[in-house]
């Protein structure tokens, strides 16, 4: 039976890859994209989500979410993904249009319509998930799985607070609410992302498929490739959201993980947004996170490659 997915997302280049991976997977019924601001502002992340839906074999609803975090506004990632979040290609307006229904309301509605059946894959700041929790505090009991791309579990982050990662750092208050409310989260952090990087050469081989989505991704990904080479001097893709999606699609391909309690630092001047991990169970806190530390690399590459092949008939 097809597994029901909702992807909460701030597209974003690696978000696009993750969404295409889910759409290409034969066992996934993609119920919707709940969109949040993050990499860039909500107007752009919504447009980018609609561009992806235009490529799909059947319409997937795009739900507009929060245009700001619960706490103070932070930095965006336009310097990585392009000012429009999709490589600044001046693409024509997409055909697909966002729904009127707000993302948090859609999350609550769909999860209550399909109790125990939905996997939510959260690959942006957790603002929409937090608002949905405020609307329906019993939400965690009604989900099949929550997979989160976020955090840096030993403090090797990617934002100006060096021990924090972008999705968590963008809305630590939302993350704290989510990590407190759920008793089981599959967590894919930035350090796991770095450990599962792959070369531009591998990506280019996939994009040689010549499909419309491969062509779009090739164009959209040029900005992030330039950033990675200029900033890090290496021709490697760090596809954080794609790794989180791989964990959502094939949990059986997780090769190593740790079950730990994870808290979110809210007040540290140096550490706000840090994921603080109780590695040695020294607190009495619920070890709510399965921290994924190793995923079968061959399977990860395979799932990525499927994203760019011709879509199967629906
Ligand atoms: O830190 C990586 C995360 O931040 C990814 O979700 C990427 O899309 C950005 O949102
Ligand atoms: Ca993202």
Residue of 38, 171, 237 to mutate, ligand 1, most atoms within 8 A of C-beta = 38
pLDDT more than 70, % of the chain? 99
Is position 312 within any domain? no
* Contacts of 205 by beta carbon, 8 Å cutoff, 6+ apart: none
Dist. CA 16–CA 112, nearest whole Å: 27
- H or E element: which one contains 187? strand 185-188
DSSP string, 130-180: HHHHHH-TTHHHH-SEEEEE---TTS--SSSSTTB-HHHHH-HHHHHHHHH
Residue 236's CB is within 10 A of a number of other CB atoms, namely 17
Q: Return the pLDDT at 289.
A: 98
Is position 314 within any domain? no
The values of phi and psi at residue 226, to 5°, are -60, -40
CB 10 within 8 A of CB 37: yes
Is position 12 within any domain? yes
Residue 277 lies in domain: 3-307
Taking the centre of ligand 2 as the mean of its atom positions, its distance from the CA of residue 125, in whole angstroms, is 8
Residue 292's CB is within 10 A of a number of other CB atoms, namely 25
Q: Return the pLDDT at 71.
A: 94
In angstroms, what CA-CA distances link 16 with 50, 213, 229, 286? 11, 10, 20, 33
Is position 313 within any domain? no
Is position 149 within any domain? yes
Answering whether pTM is above 0.95, one says: yes
Taking the centre of ligand 2 as the mean of its atom positions, its distance from the CA of residue 284, in whole angstroms, is 32
Compute the half-sphere exposure of residue 213: CA atoms within 13 Å on the CB side of its CA: 28
19 lines ligand 1 (CB under 6 A): no
Q: Return the pLDDT at 254.
A: 98
Q: How confident is the model at residue 1 (pLDDT cuts 50, 70, 90)?
A: confident
189 lines ligand 1 (CB under 6 A): no
Count of domains forming the chain: 1
- H or E element: which one contains 24? helix 13-24
Taking the centre of ligand 2 as the mean of its atom positions, its distance from the CA of residue 46, in whole angstroms, is 13
Q: Residue 170: exposed, middle, or buried by beta-carbon count in 10 A (0-12, 13-18, 19+)?
A: buried
CATH number at residue 28: 3.90.245.10
Taking the centre of ligand 2 as the mean of its atom positions, its distance from the CA of residue 11, in whole angstroms, is 6
Q: How confident is the model at residue 57 (pLDDT cuts 50, 70, 90)?
A: confident
Q: How confident is the model at residue 208 (pLDDT cuts 50, 70, 90)?
A: very high
In angstroms, what CA-CA distances link 238 with 26, 228, 234? 25, 9, 11
Q: Return the pLDDT at 2.
A: 87
DSSP string, 216-284: HHHHHTHHHHHHHHHHHSS-EE--HHHHHHHHHH-GGGEEEEEEEEEEE--S-TTTTTBEEEETT--SS
Q: Return the pLDDT at 299.
A: 98
Residue of 17, 167, 217, 239 to mutate, ligand 1, most atoms within 8 A of C-beta = 167
17 lines ligand 1 (CB under 6 A): no
pLDDT more than 90, % of the chain? 95
Average pLDDT of 187-204? 98
Ligand 1, closest atom to CA 123? 6
303 lines ligand 1 (CB under 6 A): no
pLDDT digits (tens, 9 = 90+) for 228-266: 999 889 999 999 999 999 999 999 999 999 999 999 999
Q: Return the pLDDT at 314.
A: 54
Average pLDDT of 224-229? 93
pLDDT digits (tens, 9 = 90+) for 8-55: 999 999 999 999 999 999 999 999 999 999 999 999 999 999 999 999
121 lines ligand 1 (CB under 6 A): no
Considering only residues 120 and 2, tell me which one the structure prediction assigns the higher pLDDT. Answer: 120
213 is a catalytic site residue? no
64 lines ligand 1 (CB under 6 A): no
Taking the centre of ligand 2 as the mean of its atom positions, its distance from the CA of residue 10, in whole angstroms, is 5
265 lines ligand 1 (CB under 6 A): no
Residue of 9, 14, 19 to mutate, ligand 1, most atoms within 8 A of C-beta = 14
């Amino acid at each position: 039976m097809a597994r029901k997915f909702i992807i909460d997302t701030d597209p974003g280049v690696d978000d696009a890859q993750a969404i295409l991976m889910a759409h290409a997977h034969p066992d996934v019924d993609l119920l919707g994209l709940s969109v949040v601001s993050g990499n860039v502002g909500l107007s752009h992340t919504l447009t980018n989500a609609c561009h992806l839906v235009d490529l799909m074999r059947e319409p997937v609803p795009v739900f507009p979410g929060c245009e700001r975090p619960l706490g103070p506004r932070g930095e965006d990632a336009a310097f990585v993904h392009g000012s429009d979040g999709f490589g600044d290609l001046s693409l024509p307006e997409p055909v697909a249009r966002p729904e009127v229904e707000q993302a948090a309301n859609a999350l609550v509605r769909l999860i209550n319509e399909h109790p125990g059946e939905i996997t939510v894959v959260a690959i942006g700041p957790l603002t929409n998930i937090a608002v949905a929790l405020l609307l329906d505090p019993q939400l965690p009991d009604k989900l099949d799985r929550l997979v989160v791309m976020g955090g840096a579990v030993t403090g090797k982050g990617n934002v100006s607070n060096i021990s924090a990662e972008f999705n968590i750092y963008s809305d630590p208050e939302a993350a704290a609410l989510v990590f407190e409310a759920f008793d089981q989260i599959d967590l894919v952090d930035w350090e796991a992302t770095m450990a599962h990087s792959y070369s531009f050469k591998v990506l280019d081989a996939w994009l040689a498929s010549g499909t419309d989505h491969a062509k779009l991704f090739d164009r959209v990904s040029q900005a992030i490739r330039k950033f990675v080479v200029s900033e890090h001097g290496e021709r490697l893709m760090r596809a954080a959201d794609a790794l989180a999606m791989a964990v959502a699609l094939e949990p059986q391909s997780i090769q190593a993980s740790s079950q730990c309690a994870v808290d979110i630092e809210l007040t540290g001047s140096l550490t706000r947004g840090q994921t603080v991990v109780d590695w040695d169970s020294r607190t009495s806190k619920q070890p709510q996170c399965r921290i994924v530390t190793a995923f079968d690399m061959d399977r990860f590459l395979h799932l990525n490659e499927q994203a760019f092949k011709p879509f199967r008939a629906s």
